Amino acid sequence: MTQTREKFATQVDAVLLADVRDLARAEGRQLQALVDEALADLIEKHRNAKARPHVMAAYMGSHAPYAGLYKKLAE
């Protein structure tokens, strides 16, 4: 199965681009492959975004002392 490719233009920080080019060269890969990988990782990260465990623990721990406030905010 052939993937449809589409060109696009954007701008990035010069140092970041140099680092990505160096990485591509060091890994023997094309810059395009690294960009594809980075974009796919970003999409996956956002699709599976979950709160960090310590944040959820703090949130859940706040229910008892602030239950009344949460109820009023929900109204």
Instruction: Write out 12-37 in H/E/C secondary structure.
Output: CCHHHHHHHHHHHHHHCCCHHHHHHH
**Residue 31: which residues within 8 A CB-CB, separation 6 or more?**
20, 21, 24
Predicted TM-score (pTM) of this structure: 0.62
Give average pLDDT by consecutive 10-residue segment, the chain, 75 residues. 88 96 97 95 89 88 89 89
How far apart are the C-alpha atoms of 63 and 50, rounded to whole Å?
19
How far apart are the C-alpha atoms of 66 and 70, rounded to whole Å?
6
The pLDDT of residue 3: 84
How far apart are the C-alpha atoms of 72 and 74, rounded to whole Å?
5
The pLDDT of residue 32: 94
The pLDDT of residue 20: 97
The pLDDT of residue 1: 64
